Amino acid sequence: MPTMIEPKLIAGNANQPLANAIARRMSMHRGMDVGLCEARVERFNDGEVFVEVYENVRGEDMFIVQPTSNPANDNLMELLIIADALRRSSAARITAVIPYFGYARQDRRSKARTPITAKLVANMIVEAGIERVLTLDLHATQIQGFFDIPVDNLYASPIYALDAMHNFRGKMDEVMVVSPDVGGVARARDLAQRISAPLSIVDKRRGKPGEVAEMTVIGDVKDKVCVIVDDIVDTAGTLCKAAEVLMENGAKEVHAYITHGVLSGPAVDRVSKSVMKSLVITDTILATDSVKGCKNIRIVPTAPMFAQAILNTWNGTSVSSLFDHKTLGPIYEGLYAAE
């Protein structure tokens, strides 16, 4: 019997590059090779998901790396079926590493006769045998309460604080953090406090669902380098409109830090033609060729943070220590060298 159970990673097809990057970072931290567990995740001709794990996982501490991004249903089923395969193979513990938690926007009943799908997905994850969830920037933090298992919700704001202090050095006194709506104020305030910047809000009012009728800027953004902060950018319509409104109100530049780059439909084209100088997203969702080719979209890695969070979960140390950008500084030193 081994004296210590090592953490083992396995990945679905949703974001293999991120899974491989996490494995490489864990190998660096551990000083030994941490590879992805050999498995095949395939489809039958009718679209059914089939999983076969080639390695012995009996008694192992398993981590499944699988965001539930587009196609959300396929990637969610892969996650559940991998978990079932591991549970039936006598894995000691199964942790789902879900960098992007799909269906999170359906976290409440906004109208009569609508579902709370985020809760349904949480039930499915628990029923599949997953014992812990590790995710990043849940759309609503109360989703953690939908689970009857521990949930560690990491934050992108410490990474973005490092990025902002690196890329806006010399003009930090001009930076103003902007929330694109009233509901996102807490997220924007968090980054503003980390980089000691003032906070502004774009108040949007909708004429009808999916259509923004009016936007008003709360706060003086004249001659400021505005940084819009949010968790999800989907079609980018509201984001690009907010950037225009900020420029009309006298902003010097507009940038955006958005955690999850869903970027569906016309989003990339809108961003490329917008007044924003840059849109910074993370790699939680596998970037398409059009996203990679867009001149004003930049992707920052989450693998260093996820790798450390997985190791902290495995060895029983604090995951909340990664909420502090000063703790993440050494982990991201190769990207944001100490000034």
Q: For 290-309, how does the pLDDT look when each residue is reduced to its tens digit (9 = 90+)?
A: 999 999 999 999 999 999 99
Burial of 279 (C-beta count, 10 Å sphere; 0-12/13-18/19+): buried
Which residues make Cβ contacts (< 8 Å) with residue 153, sequence separation at least 6?
Answer: 135, 136, 137, 138, 141, 144
Reply yes or no on whether 204 is catalytic: yes
Token pair of 249 as six digits:
């109100």
**209 contacts: CB under 8 Å, gap ≥ 6:** none
In the set 111, 171, 204, 292, the catalytic residue is: 204
Does the pLDDT value for residue 207 go beyond 80?
no
Q: What is the pLDDT of residue 1?
A: 41
**Model confidence pLDDT, tens digit, residues 71-96:** 999 999 999 999 999 999 999 999 99
So what's the pLDDT on residue 40? 95
- What pLDDT band is residue 2 in, cutting at 50, 70 and 90? very low
pLDDT of residue 334: 83
Closest CA to 99 of 150, 132, 133, 60: 133
In this prediction, residue 211 carries a pLDDT of: 57
| Percentage with pLDDT > 70 across the chain | 96
What is the reported pLDDT for 194? 95
Instruction: Tell me the pLDDT band of 335, cut-offs 50, 70 and 90.
Output: confident
CA distance 9 to 267: 33
* Cα distance from N-terminal residue to C-terminal residue, the chain: 47
Give residue 225's identity as a one-letter amino acid code: V
pLDDT score for 29? 80
The most distant pair of C-alpha atoms in the chain lies apart, rounded to whole Å, by 67
Residue 31 has pLDDT above 90, yes or no: no
Can you give the pLDDT at residue 338? Answer: 58
Q: Residue 290 region, left (φ>0) first, then alpha (ψ -120 to 50), else beta?
A: alpha
Q: Flag whether pLDDT at 210 surpasses 80.
A: no
Q: Is 70 exceeded by the pLDDT of residue 208?
A: no
Give mean pLDDT, residues 1-18: 84
What secondary structure letter does DSSP report for 153? E
Mean pLDDT of the chain: 93
Secondary structure class of 324 (helix, strand, coil): coil
- pLDDT level of residue 213 (50, 70, 90 thresholds): low
For 309-336, b/e burial (b = at least 16 CB within 10 A) is bbbbbbeeeebeebeebeebbebbeeeb
Lowest mean pLDDT: which of 123-137, 163-177, 320-334? 320-334
Which band of pLDDT confidence, cut at 50, 70 and 90, is reported for residue 212? Answer: low
Do residues 22 and 306 touch, judged by C-beta distance below 8 A? Answer: yes
C-alpha separations of 52 from 39, 86, 145, 197 in Å = 6, 10, 32, 50
Partners of 255 in the β-ladder: 227, 278
Average pLDDT (184-188) is 93
The pLDDT of residue 205 is above 80 = no
